[in-house]
Amino acid sequence: MVRNMSKAELQLSKGKLRPLFFRYAIPGVVAMLFLALQSVVDGFIVGRLISATALAAVNIVTPVYALVTAVAVIIGVGTQAQMGIHMGSGNYTRAKVALHSGILGVAAFVIPATIFVNIYADEIVVFLGANEELLPMAKAYIHGVMPLLFGVGGFLFCDYQLKALGHPRFAMIIMVLTIILNIILGVVFVMMEMGTFGVGLSLGLSFTIGLFASGSIIWWEVRHTPHLHETKGPFSGHMLWRIAYNGSSEGLAEVSIAITMFLFNRTLMEYAGTDGVAAFTLINYILFVGVNVMFGVANGVIPIISYNFGAGNAHRIEGISRMAIKANLAIGVVLVAALWTYGHEIIGAFIGSSEAHVMELAVSGAHIVAFAFFFNGFNLFAASFFTAVDDAFLSLVVGALRGLVLLVLCIFTLPHLWGVTGIWLATPVAEIGTMLIVFWLFKRWRRTHGRLIQ
């Protein structure tokens, strides 16, 4: 029987690969860059327009926000992959089950979390470590954002489903507009002397508006997708478990960042003091932007790979995989060249000329850490690829290797051999080790699933 496909499905299954790649990858990159921009601008608004103490108060509350976003991303990515695979295979019932299970799953977490955090907001702030100086501003921030915490989680979940339904550009536009709105409201509320409460409120309001905008498009698209609207899709606990497991490498990444940042800071304090920690912070800004660009490419092509994996289109998976790997390698080459050529100017944009020792440490460290960009684009793609083809275990393995296991091992061993240079080497060495293991994992995956990539 010939399937009556939607326009988005026809593009995923039959559209020319190069335009399709750019259609999904570029919006992914832009969205990730704006998410990175939000963190930088929010820090600037709070630190410059209120105070450094206010910045510390907001950071105290960050773990609550991070937990909600991590769960929303885990369920969002997992739902996206399951929908793509089942729509590609023509099993619209399972695709609908995945969508409903993901929606109910994220709602079952974020709504009780919103209620709980608002009831115990003051106690949570104290538990997170706010002292008497930080307590008033931390409470104000949590009371501003937490009533709308469900909007934050729901918006991030919907972002992935828009891409699963074939609308990466809508996802990008809504993400960009939401973050711009957040920045504008943040400045306005602070100028109205609403302090950290206003900063939190701007985040909650903008993301909730983004949720309604993206949710409306998803509702419209489901109603106008042949078969998907007509079929029933009841909630499935087994499907929700599959979704959460498949997206869990995203959650592991959040945990890994917190652990490795702590270890890097402690090791640098031992070997280079506060100047070393300051230098690492500057390098980390650059790493954050570079990795976000590569992650945007890797994450952006998940809907293409998932759909064609479900449809059994091996040659299309092969073609898109090659494009993503080459794109991330090209980005890596550009980033390495930029840091080696303009490293002093890039680092200098963040600190004044009076911090000569920090500048020297950061530039020399950036020259070494930059080599990680040759390899981490491939590793990021590998983790996304295994998520896209519903191999959660291998995705977790890749994420754990590059973000935690090998990196922690390098942090504990390399400084003993080469001092501060060993600390800078930890990231590129961990990425190289991960890449070598990933080559073996791809061979193992081919033996199990057939020759789908090359």
Cα 304–Cα 309–Cα 311 angle in degrees, nearest 5 = 100
Span 365-387, average pLDDT: 93
Span 284-303, average pLDDT: 88
pLDDT band at 383 (very low <50, low <70, confident <90, very high): very high
**Nearby residues of 240 by Cβ (< 8 Å), 6 or more positions away:** 75, 101, 102, 104, 105
**Nearby residues of 372 by Cβ (< 8 Å), 6 or more positions away:** 287, 427, 428, 430, 431
pLDDT at 33: 85
pLDDT at 376: 92
Q: Where are the alpha helices (DSSP H) in 89-194?
A: 92-119, 121-127, 135-145, 149-164, 168-191
Burial of 351 (0-12, 13-18, 19+ CB in 10 A): middle
pLDDT at 205: 95
Among the listed ranges 39-43, 123-127, 427-431, which one has the minimum average pLDDT value?
A: 39-43
pLDDT at 453: 45
pLDDT at 32: 84
DSSP state of 446: H
pLDDT at 34: 83
Among the listed ranges 2-6, 18-22, 50-54, which one has the minimum average pLDDT value?
A: 2-6
Span 23-51, average pLDDT: 80
pLDDT at 66: 74
Instruction: Say whether pLDDT at 286 is over 70.
Output: yes
In which residue are the tokens 């300051």 written? Answer: 278
Which tokens hold the place of 91?
A: 């099993």
Instruction: Say whether pLDDT at 58 is over 90.
Output: no
| Total Cβ atoms within 10 A of residue 402 | 28
Distance CA 214, CA 194 (A): 28
Phi first, then psi: give them for residue 104, nearest 5 degrees: -65, -35
Instruction: Say whether pLDDT at 179 is over 50.
Output: yes
Question: Are the beta carbons of 96 and 233 closer than 8 angstroms?
Answer: yes
Span 249-268, average pLDDT: 76
Instruction: Say whether pLDDT at 248 is over 50.
Output: yes
The whole-model pTM stands at 0.84
Q: What is the mean pLDDT of the chain?
A: 86
Distance CA 132, CA 126 (A): 9
Among the listed ranges 11-20, 34-43, 176-185, 445-454, which one has the minimum average pLDDT value?
A: 445-454
Which tokens hold the place of 412?
A: 């504990």
pLDDT at 218: 93
Query: In this prediction, what percent of the chain has a pLDDT beyond 70?
Result: 94
Span 156-163, average pLDDT: 92
Question: Are the beta carbons of 105 and 240 closer than 8 angstroms?
Answer: yes
Span 202-223, average pLDDT: 93
Question: What pLDDT digit, counting tens, does each position of 319-373 carry?
Answer: 999 999 999 999 999 999 999 998 888 887 766 666 678 888 889 999 999 999 9
Element (H, E) at 148: none
Question: What pLDDT digit, counting tens, does each position of 101-150 carry?
Answer: 999 999 999 899 888 888 888 888 888 777 777 788 888 888 888 888 88
Which tokens hold the place of 112?
A: 């009780």
Question: What pLDDT digit, counting tens, does each position of 386-428 carry?
Answer: 999 988 899 999 988 988 899 999 999 999 999 999 999 999 9
Q: Where are the domains of the chain?
A: 16-246, 256-449
The per-residue DSSP string of 111-128 comes to HHHHHHHHHTHHHHHHHT
